[in-house]
Amino acid sequence: MIYWDLFVTFFKVGLFSFGGGYAMIPLISSEIQRHGWLLESEFVQIIGIAEMTPGPIAVNAATFVGYKMGGVGGSAVATLGVALPSLLIVLFISSFFFKHSQNIIMKKVFYGIRPVIAGLIFAAALSIGKSALFINHTPDMSQVNYITFVIGIVVLILALKTKIHPILLIIGSGILGFMTIFL
């Protein structure tokens, strides 16, 4: 029963991956090999598409693998499977968290956790920046994507100094990038 297999597999992936979508990729890969669902090369292509299309990478990958194995129904059960653990865990802990968020112990713990989250977000910007700014994803000053760099600086200034919606900045940057092919 492919639907059940897809659901259980992606439920497991959702339940046992810590650290977000990218941490799921190795897990999905090993599950796919274990079931003999897709070739490694097909999977690599799916991850490429999951990164390029909007939305959470985990959802994109689950939908795509599900579709390949079981059509629209397969993609629905795989997506449901990968999202359901989050939903259940959040529902389980939220009632506790929101009830006790003003609690002194929670305040102490979050005093220490908040700078960690700020650090993780800053580090994410650096690492995504590294792979976006350099043509071979390694810091080499002779191989800089100048278009990305200039657009990044412009967006940085606009985001800090104006109230333009980030979605407009993303769309505008895509259009600017597109126009560079006519340079």
Partner 1 sequence: MKTYLELFLAFLKIGAFTFGGGYAMIPLIEKEVVVHKKWVHKDDIINLFAIAQSIPGAIAINTSTLIGYKVAGRRGAIAATSGVILPSFLIIIVVATFFGKIARTPTVEAIFLGINGAVVALILVAAKRMVQSAVVDGLTLMIFMGTVFSVIFTTISPVWVIILGGLIGFVSYQQIRERKNTP
Stretch that binds partner 1, among 1-9, 30-38, 55-63, 136-144 (CB under 8 A): 55-63
Place of tokens 């059509």: 71
- Among residues 40, 99, 100, 122, the one that binds partner 1 under rule CB under 8 A: 122
- Among residues 107, 137, 140, 143, the one that binds partner 1 under rule CB under 8 A: 107
Grouping H, G, I as helix, E, B as strand and the rest as coil, residue 4 is helix
Token digits for 183? 């340079």
Of residues 25-44, those binding partner 1 (CB under 8 A): none
The yes or no reply on residue 72 touching partner 1 (CB under 8 A) is: yes
- Among residues 109, 139, 143, 144, the one that binds partner 1 under rule CB under 8 A: 109
Q: Which of 60, 5, 63, 68 is nearest to 42 (CA)?
A: 68
- Classify residue 145 by burial, with Cβ atoms within 10 Å: 0-12, 13-18, 19+: middle
Of residues 126-155, those binding partner 1 (CB under 8 A): 126-129, 132-133, 145, 147-153, 155
Q: Which of 40, 78, 47, 81 is nearest to 62 (CA)?
A: 78
Q: Of 33 and 137, which CB lies nearer to partner 1 in the complex structure?
A: 137
Report CA-CA distances (Å) from 60 to 87, 104, 114.
17, 40, 29
Q: Of 33 and 177, which CB lies nearer to partner 1 in the complex structure?
A: 177
The yes or no reply on residue 173 touching partner 1 (CB under 8 A) is: yes
The yes or no reply on residue 9 touching partner 1 (CB under 8 A) is: no
Stretch that binds partner 1, among 1-9, 29-37, 49-57, 136-144 (CB under 8 A): 49-57
What span, in angstroms and rounded, lies between the C-alpha atoms of 86 and 98?
A: 17
